[in-house]
Structure 1
């Protein structure tokens, strides 16, 4: 089989997969259903899609543009067999699973009101208040189940017997087995302004949307199925399991990734995209493409690029034909590779760009060696592995250098064709520093300038402007060849909320991102509450603005104190202290430039109170302690376990909850406990914990690959709360959490010593134990233990520090109980005099082993025997004992200064093993001094910082911290 990566860099379209499986916008997964005697018989659309598309009006009927339409056939008997979309349909509209045949979800480009339909064998739905009914055989009377028909409008714009209803959240038009529902509210990417639609306006829009759907079903309004794309695509793709339609390529979810000369397209998927990972062999998908300049205006290369961009699977073969002005594609596809970091060799790789040489170097810093035949190097959409890889493996200390020029995207990734999984080790997009933006908000223009010192090839780039009117490629003259220093391009009509991206016009990973990106945002203003000052407003803009352009409001009224009272200009970090405001107040900041005032920040005043919660396993109760912030009435607090109020509440113990106050309450073990403030519109979290987090222990049997999980808590516990999963190699997505707890299957109540056994736990797997909580609006799971089959940092070394008499000790800190004789301790590669088995037969946690007095530079390692395999599970080098002093002298202009490190005493150090860090000045490690061999007491080194330094660190052997000191000019 040809390796998928050799056919292209994209691992299937993650965007398509997200849109089709509900991740792209979960709100699109609320559906209705449909079946009707009236169908689209005049169009060649197979059932049940003919029924499902019956109430879908054309875009013009709703004065909008459709970004996507997703149609899905449904044939299931249980909810578990349904896709995410179909399951949402049955739950939202209370339709039996076996009565649903098809769904259609329509997402408008403005992300406002969504329309969903479906077809099935259900009776006419009855939801909410009846607003209108369709005339039946020329009469005006409704059936007996029509509800208050005498008060509802009777209209011939709905099919006979159909009903239009509204329940305040969903507007619905429905007949026997047919339904179209309008869900959601209008939204905008612009800042919040005074034109935000009211709840009544949104309700009216929902009702008008389904009214148009009813008119389409009655034949009184144009239907989408009769539109150019609908008529061309649905007749050809109606037999597929899932159909994705993009009526306007500039408004769909693919943005600039679709070639400019593609006007619209549709895809039929043989397999539901949610099941793509389980494809065995190949399946066939089909495409219908409308081009801007006709079918002949799209060459085969462009068509194949579109298929690779859109298809969530990996195309292995395409058959392209042109007929009736359309481009038709039959694509044979196979399962896309899956990202699996656990499966790849555990290697840490760093990348660095050399601007002068025009190269990117990938350095294997540490970790496991990677076989060269499992590595891929990609340069601007082309694989260049054969030209840059040497040797049989990529191991610690090795480097791979790629000649990139000044503009490129490069990636180093691991790929296993047998398991069809991959991992990305490192990637670079260069040269981001070579471009600068300048935005004029008043003129709505954005200037992009190339500021490098040398010319560069820009033919692999494209400039994309995204705004409310859609997505368009701009600035062709800027990216059509060679960029010279100083070249610039101006993008016009860039409104607040728009974005402009300079992207690579080549295939790259799903998370490849853009080279540079600018979003036209209003200025940033942050509203926060502090214990000492109360509520404060802080300006965090990137440019200076007049202070009187900002107006602060509390509950809609201007505050007595404004930015303009204290500042003429705001340039960054200016604060307006409003003091202690009543809890529940709404603080907002209006910006009065450049046009109508818009709200750029809005927050409810909530307590800045923090509480700690500690669990006493012996008493089976928690202690809630006030740790700081505002004093609150106890009546406005609620203690919850599993999102339900506990039997004992704060008001039962206290009148107020303030400094030094605390109270206790009995809480079952393995409970998610939290303290919330309930005095505002929403609950506000003050503190929480999961009780008895250490109430489970584990023992691993290497020979049988079994992990025993034991409950060791002091108090009896509900076994339903515990869930167990397994992650790791071969289980990259993890075993699905038990729908019914494995503990609950064995025990009615957990007491100390109760245990279960998890089989098939390989050496590279981890067993995760979690506490699962279900509540009215959902569920939550929090892990309380991770038991790795192989010890991972199971030991720590105590170097003795200033207490020379203590010597060096090795302490077992692993969470899994293990046989001591499976471990061997090595000192400088030789077995240590004392071994774990000399002290104990079983390591359960906390056991120590004396290693004697070890000098600086001595290496300590621990090996673990697992059957025929031996693994090194810990390596440590004894660091030197040295002290340092740090001084900081600021520059005369107050911008930056000099940080000086001084070796104040202790061991002499090898200079090439000592580095210093000054954040943010050094941007990583900087050698102590390249001109000396040793660092001894009294030696100094300095770092010049252009900005105020925040932290100074001395590092030994690139990872061992010898000195750590925060820097603060005010102290």
Structure 2
């Protein structure tokens, strides 16, 4: 699947846009305004799209925010305003192109019109065709602002292409790609949004590769505040491939919408169109209703009981006729599981027969409602206690059952994987290197078996009725010998690594210290042929945020790792309403952000706005909250995801 873009277009442009006076362009001495008094039609916005924005796989989208605001959509209006740094409420229309090249999304061009003001001045420039605009941007993205539109693109060349296309001096995208022009002419009327997609990346989820698609178009029209008309058109390459089953599958686009009546489906050769009306009132009702969920099976399961009780952890009263319980992916008998309830809500209990209970049993409760469905699931008896005794020198692993539940040995298997099986993508099939089924009869605590040829880095799964990660009821990872203790001196930028071995000596060259995946200048083998517990090496010039790893053996199996960072001790001073630095490193305040989490809010304080120079012992930062309101606060360092300091106020 395509990956999300690394940045949102214009997200890094340091300009602030504010709503101007309604219906009028605001003249300002410190910036430029745009006005929607003569808001361009969508055709005019599409004229800005140059042929250079074309891609084999792309989507072209237009949105009329004024139309969207007339509908009481439970999901709100759809706008990219935040990505442009523009208040979405000030946008009247927008159009943009998405492309998918090399499995990554990008937005080569976008056009926005509305009633907003840009603070601060940009550079005044003029196109070859004589159009004056104000340029704003940085090394990554560009915005061109005129009196009527904002044109955004990835570079100045694309901006020039856009104005040339609008002036008729360069080929426009819709002329370069006739399928786009055909698709945008498919549905007439004033639409709240209109999207056309072409290319293999844009397919219906239920369609197969057997039916190639030329384009897909979707338009939305606001009929009244509670009703939207949905128009969907799909043009196939070959009319003979359009079967009844395929036509039925196209309606999957509407399965998460509340419809007023059945959709109308028409076929004209290779073109299939669908028309339906969304009932927004029904969707709002479904959206506001909390479906029963958070299934909580009883913890102490007694196999002698007739039934297993499962508590509903949350949810509002819901008729059981709208609910489906699945046990091990099979629909369960409603007469049994409803436990006499006509509705279910938080605190109610459902049941399944104890005869149906077995290890790793999946259960799910689904609520079918007007806006689709909501599902809550869990598993029963999904984890069991096993003991492991691994000898890295002989490669033997003894596995001992250490639980009280009577497992049937014939259904318990051991699967050995070369690495963690869950580290692969879901669609990648990973087979175990070897499997074993060593037990029979009823397993009791103390039953054991031994596996041979277990290597450091291997993952051993204990599985029920299978050999995959989904079947596992216990796991073990064979580790290389030893662990590593790291100590980082922030001021000197030095890192020490100390091996901790349980017994004896090991070859020094079996261990290697990597800095950002490259061998460090200093290694244990530089000082001795063998190492024992306590052997320490030190590396200089290690920057904060560096990836430090110790690996073992020819296969570079990970022993330990760290990310060097400063450490600061914090305390909450209730008298001053401040957080104080009480120990640890002195760090430039410009690198630090204090995050304060209260019962109802989350706030951030940039320390360079509070402290000049370094944040050092004795310094305090005022917080606008009482101690009893603060859940905790943590200090983060620029570029480091983890906390470098943390404090929880006293709850005396």
- State how 1:55-134 maps to structure 2 within 5 Å: 55-58=48-51, 61-62=52-53, 64-75=55-66, 83=77, 85=79, 87-88=81-82, 91-92=85-86, 97=90, 100-109=92-101, 110-111=103-104, 113-118=106-111, 120=113, 128-129=122-123, 133-134=127-128
Deviations 1:769-798 (A, max 9, x none): xxxxxxxxxxxxxxxxxxxxxxxxxxxxxx
Pair 1:325–1:551, CA change in 2 (3 A): same
Equivalent position to 2:8, from 27, 30, 35: 27
Q: TM-score, normalised by structure 2?
A: 0.54
1:177 correspondence with 2:159? no
1:270 corresponds in structure 2 to 221
Pair 1:438–1:585, CA change in 2 (3 A): closer
Tell me by how many angstroms 1:530 deviates.
4.5
C-alpha contact (below 8 Å) 2:194/2:218 kept by paired residues: yes
Pair 1:80–1:607, CA change in 2 (3 A): farther
1:563 and 1:298 map into 2 onto residues whose CA distance is 68
1:303 corresponds in structure 2 to 247
- State how 1:726-765 maps to structure 2 within 5 Å: none
2:522 corresponds in structure 1 to 561
Pair 1:404–1:362, CA change in 2 (3 A): closer
C-alpha contact (below 8 Å) 1:613/1:625 kept by paired residues: no
C-alpha contact (below 8 Å) 2:9/2:141 kept by paired residues: no
2:128 and 2:561 map into 1 onto residues whose CA distance is 45
Deviations 1:210-235 (A, max 9, x none): 34434543352351465254223211
Tell me by how many angstroms 1:66 deviates.
4.1
C-alpha contact (below 8 Å) 2:587/2:615 kept by paired residues: yes
Tell me by how many angstroms 1:73 deviates.
0.9
2:198 corresponds in structure 1 to 247
2:245 and 2:58 map into 1 onto residues whose CA distance is 25
Pair 1:48–1:547, CA change in 2 (3 A): farther
Q: TM-score, normalised by structure 1?
A: 0.39
Deviations 1:139-195 (A, max 9, x none): xxx7xxx4xxxxxxxxxxxxxxx7877544432356653443125xxxxxxxxxxxx
Pair 1:415–1:133, CA change in 2 (3 A): closer
Deviations 1:803-833 (A, max 9, x none): xxxxxxxxxxxxxxxxxxxxxxxxxxxxxxx
2:484 and 2:217 map into 1 onto residues whose CA distance is 46
2:340 corresponds in structure 1 to 392
Q: Secondary structure at the match of 2:574?
A: strand
C-alpha contact (below 8 Å) 2:191/2:221 kept by paired residues: yes
C-alpha contact (below 8 Å) 1:588/1:603 kept by paired residues: yes
1:643 corresponds in structure 2 to 605
Higher-RCO chain (CA-CA 8 Å, sequence separation at least 6) = 2
Gaps of 5+ in 2: 18-38, 300-306, 383-410, 420-424, 437-468, 472-482, 500-508, 551-559, 597-603
Moved more, 317-326 or 633-642: 633-642
2:46 corresponds in structure 1 to 53
1:564 and 1:255 map into 2 onto residues whose CA distance is 58
2:24 corresponds in structure 1 to none
Equivalent position to 2:325, from 367, 377, 381: 377
1:587 corresponds in structure 2 to 546
Deviations 1:423-482 (A, max 9, x none): 534257999x9999989xxxx9966559999xxxxxxxxxxxxxxxxxxxxxxxxxxxxx
Q: Secondary structure at the match of 2:185?
A: helix
Tell me by how many angstroms 1:621 deviates.
4.2
Tell me by how many angstroms 1:675 deviates.
7.6
2:294 and 2:218 map into 1 onto residues whose CA distance is 39
In angstroms, what is the RMSD of aligned CA positions?
6.5
The number of aligned residues is 489
1:344 correspondence with 2:295? no
Pair 1:29–1:208, CA change in 2 (3 A): closer
1:608 and 1:634 map into 2 onto residues whose CA distance is 13
1:289 correspondence with 2:237? no
Tell me by how many angstroms 1:207 deviates.
3.0
- State how 1:541-580 maps to structure 2 within 5 Å: 552=515, 559-561=520-522, 579=538
1:340 and 1:577 map into 2 onto residues whose CA distance is 60
2:310 corresponds in structure 1 to 364
Tell me by how many angstroms 1:325 deviates.
2.6
Tell me by how many angstroms 1:614 deviates.
3.9
Tell me by how many angstroms 1:208 deviates.
3.7
1:304 and 1:515 map into 2 onto residues whose CA distance is 33
1:231 corresponds in structure 2 to 181
1:69 and 1:112 map into 2 onto residues whose CA distance is 13
Gaps of 5+ in 1: 1-14, 33-45, 137-141, 147-161, 184-205, 273-277, 352-360, 454-513, 517-525, 540-545, 569-573, 592-600, 695-845, 847-971
1:314 and 1:449 map into 2 onto residues whose CA distance is 43
Pair 1:613–1:105, CA change in 2 (3 A): farther
Tell me by how many angstroms 1:243 deviates.
2.1
Tell me by how many angstroms 1:606 deviates.
2.5
2:252 and 2:49 map into 1 onto residues whose CA distance is 29
C-alpha contact (below 8 Å) 2:68/2:222 kept by paired residues: no
- State how 1:852-871 maps to structure 2 within 5 Å: none
2:358 and 2:243 map into 1 onto residues whose CA distance is 30
Equivalent position to 1:328, from 266, 273, 282: 273
C-alpha contact (below 8 Å) 2:486/2:496 kept by paired residues: yes
